[in-house]
Structure 1
Amino acid sequence: MTRPPLLIPRPEGLYCPGGDFFIDPTRPVARALITHGHSDHARPGHGAVMATAQTLDIMAIRYGEDFTRSRQVPEGPTRIGEVTVSFHTAGHVLGSAQIAVEGQGTRIVVSGDYARVPTPTCAPFEPVPCDIFVTEATFALPVFRHPPPQAEIARLLASVTAYPDRAHLIGAYALGKAQRLIAAIRAAGWDAPIHIHGALQRLCDYHVAQGIDLGDLRPATEGRKADFAGSIVIAPPSAFAATWAQRFPDPVIAFASGWMQVRARARQRGVELPLVISDHIDWPNLTATITELDPAEVWITHGREDALLRWCELTRRQARPLHLVGYEDEAE
């Protein structure tokens, strides 16, 4: 009797028949293993959820304590049915993990979203030897070569110095990107208060509770318009489309994203100061990671598949696209 594959792409997401669970399913299922807390990977409504303690906390913050009927934190390698699963740090956001599934003499590592650039806001990526590596392809084009974050922060602080009468409003996603940005600004020597939109408050407070120093953070609603001259304000990108942004003096609109390398995207968003800061892996680090792991096969998901498929072909690596749907490109 032929055994089913270890993992199978299904409309709900990647399914493991031997353990009867899904990884990052896009619709409610009986049992879900979750790589991280971004809403395109971590959805509410599952019967049971296994994830890192920090990811479970983040899901509770975002969806309420009753986001699932049952939750479990893996304590080392865990047996589920006919397979063994283990969680390994991914370097993406706080609590993010790669999920290794072992069975039938094969190990598949589902990386979720991941990054190789160090940050104090989450644990670094752990290379895990495997037979099959499932990788994201958000920035899987040779044009995407992210500059050092320190260089982008230097551009930001130079702009703040050059325009002391203006507020600098930076769009950053609430989980991961905002905290990564704040930590980078602090590392560059900015000790003044950083003002944050209310939508960021609970997740920033959680990072601080986890021992991550974000410095003096203040609500962006405190003070008069003139008081924000020369200040840095961080908010979710959606806030800039509302009248909320009008309460700041002649704001410089900035946006922190890997997509800011594409000038057309910056223009479409009305971004005056694009900051190429990403919590996803860029092309050089993506190909270097695959070379380092040297898996027998590469599975490619949620992103640009063609260039990476071609690179794998040129480097004589087996590769296939999974065509999973429901994931966003560096978004929530």
Structure 2
Amino acid sequence: MTPEALLHPTPAGLYCAPGDFYIDPVAPVDRAVITHGHADHARSGHGSVIATEETLAIMAVRYGEEFTARRTALAYGETTNVNGVGLWLAPAGHVLGSAQAVIEFGGLRMVVTGDYKRRRDPTCPAFEVVSCHIFISEATFALPVFHHPDTGGEVRKLLASQQQFPERTHLVGAYALGKAQRVIRHLREEGYDRPIFIHGALDRLCTLYESFGVNLSPLLPATLKDSSGEKTDFSGEIVICPPAAIQSTWARRFPDPVPCFASGWMRIRQRAKQRGVELPLIISDHADWGELTDTVEAVDPDELWVTHGREDALIRWAELRGRVARPLHLIGYEDDHD
């Protein structure tokens, strides 16, 4: 069987014909394999879903009663048989529960990374290199300009700014799933033991992370009054919120706030300027250029298929090194969560 016969793009998403299942489909399907819980990969409306326990829990929290699918939880490394096709999941290092989908059939192994990163993340298992014939990689930051600095160093920038401006509130825009919890956990690792205030939109997912053993406490709601009814003084405090909240009327309650944004896109100064970000924090949940190319070298596949981003540069890099590479041109995926 050719790789294209085993796995190929369709309008609904990447489809495994022998197994009759889709990976991260963009439309409702009978059987879906979900790599992680971000909304552009994990949609509601599927008949059945195969994913890690954590991803299924994230989908249940995010979709509530809309998440009616039959659910099969797979632990990392656990193999299931789907219509004769072997399927197992390997850590992707992207967010809690994120996984690479490993498909095996007729002596052929294909790996679909979903979104991934290679640097340490205290909120989820590290990416695992899986040798394969066909490696299907994301390419969100697949340009040489994207080199993400040390995450600890970026968090220390935030703490230094807090010390420099003790009268101001630092509003940190961070995506609700993965980025917010990672920033909080890194703050804790840097010795920040004061309460961290969070926007209400982050509460359920932070609670879920803690239920899976990721310690984020102490967290407090970023409300105008505390539990005793006293007005909250946010001077000198760190508040984590969705990126869109930084420019909303909600942000006006804080004293002279310092707008911060945690994203790999903060490497591009114009993006920071457009968003009105005073303190850009280059913290990404995706692989940067070096991580992408190092991963391809480590996996050493017969063919590289590229999707979800800047395909051309990564394909050109691979071809210059004698590798077979091609774009997939999948549609329906966004990079808003970074």
Preserved contact between residue 113 and residue 136 of structure 1 (Cα < 8 Å): yes
Q: 2:328 aligns with which of 305, 322, 332?
A: 322
Alignment-derived partner of residue 298 in structure 1: 304
Matched, 1:230 2:232: no
CA displacement, residues 180-235 of structure 1 (integer Å, 9 cap, x when unaligned): 00011111111111000000001001111111111210000054777100000000
* TM-score, normalised via structure 2 length: 0.95
Alignment-derived partner of residue 243 in structure 1: 249
Alignment-derived partner of residue 23 in structure 1: 23
Alignment-derived partner of residue 191 in structure 1: 193
Alignment-derived partner of residue 252 in structure 1: 258
By how many angstroms is 1:69 displaced? 3.0
The 3 A distance-change label for structure 1 pair 299 and 220 is same
For 1:53-72, list aligned pairs within 5 A. 53-72=53-72
Inter-partner Cα distance in structure 2 for 1:303 and 1:68 = 31
For 1:76-225, list aligned pairs within 5 A. 76-223=78-225
CA displacement, residues 286-324 of structure 1 (integer Å, 9 cap, x when unaligned): 100100110000110110011101101111111110000
How many residues get paired? Answer: 332
Tell me the secondary structure at the aligned position of residue 245 of structure 1: helix
For 1:301-312, list aligned pairs within 5 A. 301-312=307-318
The 3 A distance-change label for structure 1 pair 106 and 169 is same
Preserved contact between residue 226 and residue 249 of structure 1 (Cα < 8 Å): no
CA displacement, residues 12-65 of structure 1 (integer Å, 9 cap, x when unaligned): 110000000000000101110000000000000001111000000000000014
Q: Give ranges in structure 2 of 5+ residues lacking alignment.
A: none
Alignment-derived partner of residue 13 in structure 1: 13
The 3 A distance-change label for structure 1 pair 83 and 257 is same
Preserved contact between residue 3 and residue 108 of structure 2 (Cα < 8 Å): no
RMSD: 1.5
Inter-partner Cα distance in structure 1 for 2:41 and 2:232 = 40
Letter in structure 2 aligned against 1:39: A
Alignment-derived partner of residue 289 in structure 2: 283
Inter-partner Cα distance in structure 2 for 1:259 and 1:250 = 25
* TM-score, normalised via structure 1 length: 0.97
CA displacement, residues 150-181 of structure 1 (integer Å, 9 cap, x when unaligned): 11111111100000010000000000000000
Inter-partner Cα distance in structure 2 for 1:103 and 1:189 = 48
Preserved contact between residue 24 and residue 41 of structure 2 (Cα < 8 Å): yes
By how many angstroms is 1:66 displaced? 4.5
Letter in structure 2 aligned against 1:138: T
State percent identity of aligned pairs: 60
Preserved contact between residue 199 and residue 242 of structure 2 (Cα < 8 Å): yes
Alignment-derived partner of residue 271 in structure 2: 265
The 3 A distance-change label for structure 1 pair 216 and 120 is same
The 3 A distance-change label for structure 1 pair 300 and 2 is closer
